[in-house]
Structure formats: structure tokens, C-alpha cells
Amino acid sequence: MSEPVTQVAAVEVRGVDKVFETRSGNVQALEPIDLTVAAGEFVSLIGPSGCGKSTLMRLVADLDEPTAGTVEVFGKTSRRARLDQEYGIAFQQAGLLPWRTVAGNVALPLELHGEASAARASRIAELLDMVGLADFADRYPDQLSGGMQQRVAIARALAERPRLLLMDEPFGALDEMTREKMQTELVRISAETGAAVVFVTHSIPEAVFLSDRVVVMSPRPGRIREIVAMRLGAEAERAERTEELREERVFFDMVTAVREALHGGSPIGTGARGVETR
Ligand SMILES: Nc1ncnc2c1ncn2[C@@H]1O[C@H](COP(=O)(O)OP(=O)(O)OP(=O)(O)O)[C@@H](O)[C@H]1O
Ligand SMILES: [Mg+2]
């Protein structure tokens, strides 16, 4: 009856590579990748455009299949994990259904799971409260700003209380202020729910602010260049991360560490195309 002592990893990627067959030849998107994300851990993927971040996310989410290697999510195949709704997904486009209200969009995974309507209503209220949209339940997506739509998508991703969130540039389209606010909210939500997060971003400060570890990838074919653990001192606990952290010395030190890992010895300007330092 007792819980197992060693917790199973949220994500276990072993020897995964991916070759896309196209009319103009094969594209090796990923070299064999090994990566373990612990339960409750926040891991960001950063690297130049085309280095295979989205490809890796899609393999974990069972939206595509690896050419070789295995992906496990909480000890299950990624297929089984998807069917069991072990993870929530939020990608760059919020992907809301325009004909459904905010509440209706958040309700979708609950309906698919056949949750009773009373339980559903209270869960939706709780979720909208969590993302600060309690007053917008009856609005439609086109009546919301981009940042609000993105928060609806995050509420929807959290609906089934997944132990894992897969997020591919979820804040890419937001203005800088909204983006920082969303980062603070995501840190709070992930600390509250204890969910593991795999997060793709082009922003070094965003990766540093959010993560326990930052995975730095290099292109052609994509591989892991370095994994940088975020040592943020007393603020390292995710629940303790606040706006002030962005101005702390340790924060800048970690931004520098990730930037250096990205450039990886190659002259600055050629090593990390497409990576923002803002
Ligand atoms: N369906 C596909 N068919 C053929 N090639 C693909 C396919 N999807 C991705 N690729 C190729 O695989 C490589 C990695 O693409 P991927 O989208 O994973 O990069 P990324 O790191 O997410 O880039 P970005 O930061 O621009 O989003 C690229 O060379 C891309 O052209
Ligand atoms: Mg991508």
C-alpha cells in the first residue's frame, strides 16, 4: 500500500533520434538524445532556430514517432501517457476553439474525460481563478487579448491536473510586460501544482527565471550541448521566485552561464542564431 520510495521520472528520453524523409532527401533533425526530467522539475530547452526543440517536444507528446530510441512519460510509453492524459500541452498559438467561451474551452479536456457536470463547473471556476480570468468565463476568445488567450490555454492544459506540462514557446507572441507577468504566474502555478514542466523558449532570461535546469541545444543535427543547472541561491525554490529575482546578481550570472553555453566556443553571432537575449 505504501508509495514507492524512488519517484518515477516525468520524462525519460533514451537514445532518441529523428530523421524526416522529404522529397529533397533526409533531414536528420535530432542526433541521439538522452534526457531525464524528474517529477516536479522545470526544464527549459533553448537553442537556435531549427535545432529540433519542437521535434523533441512532439516526440514526448506522442504527436510524432522517433526514428530510434524510446520516450517514457511517468514510466509509460508516450502513447499510453497521452491516452491517460498524463500531460497538458500549451504551444505558441493558444489554439482555442473560437465558437466556445473561455469556460467552454477550459471544459474541453474534462468533457473528453467524461467528468460529471457539477464537478466540472467547480473545477473550471478554480482554474479560471488560478490564471486570473474568473471574470471572463463567458467571453469568447476573439474578445480577449493574446495574453489572456494564452492564459486560457494554460488553464485548459492544467484542467486534468497533469503531472507534466509540455510548453513550446507559449509566450512567444506576447509583449515583454505581459510575458514577464505570465512567467511569474507559471512559476507560481507550477510550484502550487507540483507539475513537471518541459518548456521551449528563445529567451535566455525567461529560461533562467523559470527553470531548475536549462538544456542548451546546438543545431544540425540537434543535440544537447550542455545542461546548465540554475543556481539562484535562496531564490532557487520556485515558490520563492519573484520579480526581484530578475535584478539579482545571481540571475545575471545564470543568464551569462546559459549564453556562454549557447555560444559554446564559436564566435558570438554565429553560434546562436535566432536566440534572443531579452
Ligand atoms: N515534418 C517535417 N518534415 C521535414 N523536416 C522537418 C519537419 N519538422 C521539422 N523538420 C526539420 O527538423 C529540424 C528541426 O525543426 P524543429 O521545428 O524541431 O526546430 P526548432 O528547434 O523547434 O526551431 P524553432 O526555434 O524555429 O521553432 C529543422 O531542420 C526542420 O526543417
Ligand atoms: Mg519550434
Q: Judge if the beta carbon of residue 55 lies within 6 A of ligand 1.
A: yes
CB 253, CB 207: distance < 8 Å: no
Residue 248's pLDDT is: 86
Listing DSSP states for 85-105 in one string gives: T-EEEEESS----TTS-HHHH
Q: Judge if the beta carbon of residue 54 lies within 6 A of ligand 1.
A: yes
Q: Where are the domains of the chain?
A: 11-86+162-263, 95-160
List, for residues 36-51, the tens digit of each pLDDT value. Answer: 999 999 999 999 999 9
Q: Which residues surround ligand 2, an ion (CB under 5 A)?
A: 54
Whose cell is 505558441? That residue is 92
Share of the chain above pLDDT 70, in %: 91
The two beta strands, 76-77 and 42-46, are: unpaired
Mention every residue, 6+ apart, whose C-beta is less than 8 A from residue 8.
Answer: 39, 74, 75
Residue 165's pLDDT is: 94
The Cα 200–Cα 33 span in angstroms is 16
Residue 162's pLDDT is: 87
| Number of helical H runs and strand E runs in the chain | 8, 10
Q: Judge if the beta carbon of residue 27 lies within 6 A of ligand 1.
A: yes
Whether residue 30 has pLDDT greater than 90? yes
Q: Judge if the beta carbon of residue 24 lies within 6 A of ligand 1.
A: no
List, for residues 197-213, the tens digit of each pLDDT value. Answer: 999 999 999 999 999 99
First to last CA, the chain: 49
- What residue's CA is closest to ligand 1, atom 31? 50
List, for residues 138-195, the tens digit of each pLDDT value. Answer: 999 999 988 889 889 988 988 888 899 999 998 887 788 878 888 888 888 888 888 9
List, for residues 78-124, the tens digit of each pLDDT value. Answer: 999 999 889 999 887 778 999 999 999 999 988 887 777 888 899 99
Which of 16, 17, 19, 20 to mutate for ligand 1's pocket (most ligand atoms within 8 Å of CB)? 20
Regarding pTM above 0.85, the answer is: yes
CA of 86 to the centre of ligand 1 (A): 25
Share of the chain above pLDDT 90, in %: 53
Which of 30, 33, 51 to mutate for ligand 1's pocket (most ligand atoms within 8 Å of CB)? 51
Measured from the Cα of 217, ligand 1's closest atom is: 21
Q: How far is CA 79 from the centre of its chain?
A: 19
Among 51, 97, 93, residue whose Cα is nearest residue 272: 51
Measured from the Cα of 48, ligand 1's closest atom is: 25
CATH T-level assignment (fold) for domain 11-86+162-263:
Rossmann fold (3.40.50)
Mention every residue, 6+ apart, whose C-beta is less than 8 A from residue 96.
Answer: 105, 141, 149, 152, 153, 156
Residue 227 parent element (H or E)? strand 223-229
CA of 129 to the centre of ligand 2 (A): 30
Residue 195 parent element (H or E)? none
